[in-house]
Amino acid sequence: MIDVQHVSFAVNKKILVNEVSLFVEPGEFVVIMGPNGAGKSTLLKMMSGALPPTKGKILLKGKDLVTYKTDQLAKQRAVLSQHYEISFPLSAREIVMMGRYPYFNSFPRAEDEGIVTDRMERMQVNDLADRSYQTLSGGEAQKVQMSRVLAQIGDTSENEQKLLLLDEPVSHLDVKYQHQLLAVAKECCKKQVAVIAVLHDINLAIKYADRILFMKQASVIKSLAKDEAVTSELLEAIFDIKCNLVDLPGGGKFVVF
């Protein structure tokens, strides 16, 4: 799906991402973790196509990302950003409908309306449909934006694989909805979507990720597969803080910092 080949990004001689390679298949859930300023968001932005790498290249479905046209790319991948500032009042449903804009000309088709309703149901924000976006709480707004991004992914299949990029998707959500959002993303994986998410909560990462990429100082330090156990040495090296691993009753580990 996406093939990141020795990619670097530098601005004013400061290297933000250094020689990162990554290959993600549809159906895979990859989480990127690391301290602030590690280059996670920059890497994600490069994978979105918004930021051309200064070195190396990224292939999406075998084609160089920089050769995609903006409107073509919008049908291949969707991006959930960290912050949204809305300049004019629009209803939540109008915002979610924007996810379908790349697919219709002037007016939404029945199919688009259906997808919008379905994605808002999945994120449990249907009762907010007519609310002005600007009156929503931070968490509600994040769920509405996630619905929009899911609507942009649309229906996927074996022949219609897509890429979903999430930059700190749960930063404003309460515990229940943190899990709910990641569960919805995981569901997408089962339908031929490759998901790459930046997260800060190691326990969420362990629970949902098929692979965790640990970044520090612009480089990938460790790529941790699902069956590999996380160790306190690794976490301490990455985050510079003492931690303990607690065994969970049903197996697996819980990390306490």
Partner 1 sequence: MLRKSKYLFPVLGILLLAVVISAIALGAVSITLEDMFAAANNWIHHKEPGNIYQAVFLQIRLPRILLCMITGAILAVSGVLMQGLFRNPIVEPGLLGTIAGAAFGASLVFVLSGSMNKDIVHFAGPMLVPIFAFAGGLLATAVVYTLSKGTSRVTVTTLLLIGIAVNAVGLSGTGFMSYIARDPQARSITFWNLGTFSGATWLQVWITGIVAAFVFILSLRYAKQLNTLVLGEEEAQYAGVDTEKLKRRIMILNTAMVSVATAFVGVISFMGLIIPHVMRLLVGSDHKKLIPASMIAGAILLTLADMGARLLLAPAEVPIGIITSLVGAPIFVILLKRTHILYSKGGGND
**Contact region with partner 1 (CB under 8 A), list: 31-39, 63-71, 185-193, 195-203:** 63-71
- When asked if residue 74 is in the footprint of partner 1 (CB under 8 A), the reply is yes
Q: Which is nearer to partner 1, 90 or 255 (CB)?
A: 90
From CA 80, how far away is CA 83, in angstroms rounded? 9
- When asked if residue 79 is in the footprint of partner 1 (CB under 8 A), the reply is yes
Classify the phi-psi angles of 168: left when phi > 0, otherwise alpha if psi is within -120 to 50, otherwise beta: left
- Residue list 179-198, contact with partner 1 (CB under 8 A): none
Question: Could you say which of 89, 114, 155, 236 contacts partner 1 (CB under 8 A)?
Answer: 89
Question: Could you say which of 73, 125, 197, 220 contacts partner 1 (CB under 8 A)?
Answer: 73
DSSP states of 30-68 as a string?
A: EEEE-STTSSHHHHHHHHHTSS--SEEEEEETTEEGGGS
Q: Which is nearer to partner 1, 12 or 88 (CB)?
A: 88
- When asked if residue 130 is in the footprint of partner 1 (CB under 8 A), the reply is yes
Q: Which is nearer to partner 1, 135 or 223 (CB)?
A: 135
What are the backbone dihedrals phi and psi of residue 38, each rounded to the nearest 5 degrees, phi first? Answer: -80, -15
Task: Print the binding letters for residues 137-156 with partner 1: x by CB under 8 A, - otherwise.
Answer: ---------------x----
Question: Could you say which of 55, 61, 131, 200 contacts partner 1 (CB under 8 A)?
Answer: 131
Asked if 50 and 13 count as a contact pair (C-beta separation under 8 A), the reply is no
From CA 110, how far away is CA 19, in angstroms rounded? 45
Question: Could you say which of 10, 19, 61, 84 contacts partner 1 (CB under 8 A)?
Answer: 84
Task: Print the binding letters for residues 97-126 with partner 1: x by CB under 8 A, - otherwise.
Answer: -xx-xx---x--------------------
Q: Which is nearer to partner 1, 21 or 72 (CB)?
A: 72
Question: What Rg, from alpha-carbon coordinates, does the chain have?
Answer: 18
Q: In the 8-state DSSP scheme, what is residue 229?
A: P
DSSP H or E stretch at residue 256: strand 253-256
- When asked if residue 134 is in the footprint of partner 1 (CB under 8 A), the reply is yes
Helices marked H in the chain? 40-48, 70-74, 92-97, 110-122, 138-153, 175-190, 202-208, 232-239
Asked if 172 and 84 count as a contact pair (C-beta separation under 8 A), the reply is no
Q: CA angle, corner 102, sides to 96 and 104, nearest 5?
A: 90
- When asked if residue 81 is in the footprint of partner 1 (CB under 8 A), the reply is yes
- Residue list 17-56, contact with partner 1 (CB under 8 A): 48, 50
**Contact region with partner 1 (CB under 8 A), list: 26-34, 53-61, 68-76, 206-214:** 68-76
Q: In the 8-state DSSP scheme, what is residue 125?
A: -
Binding residues for partner 1, rule: CB under 8 A, are 48, 50, 69-75, 78-79, 81, 84-91, 94-95, 98-99, 101-102, 106, 130-132, 134-135, 152
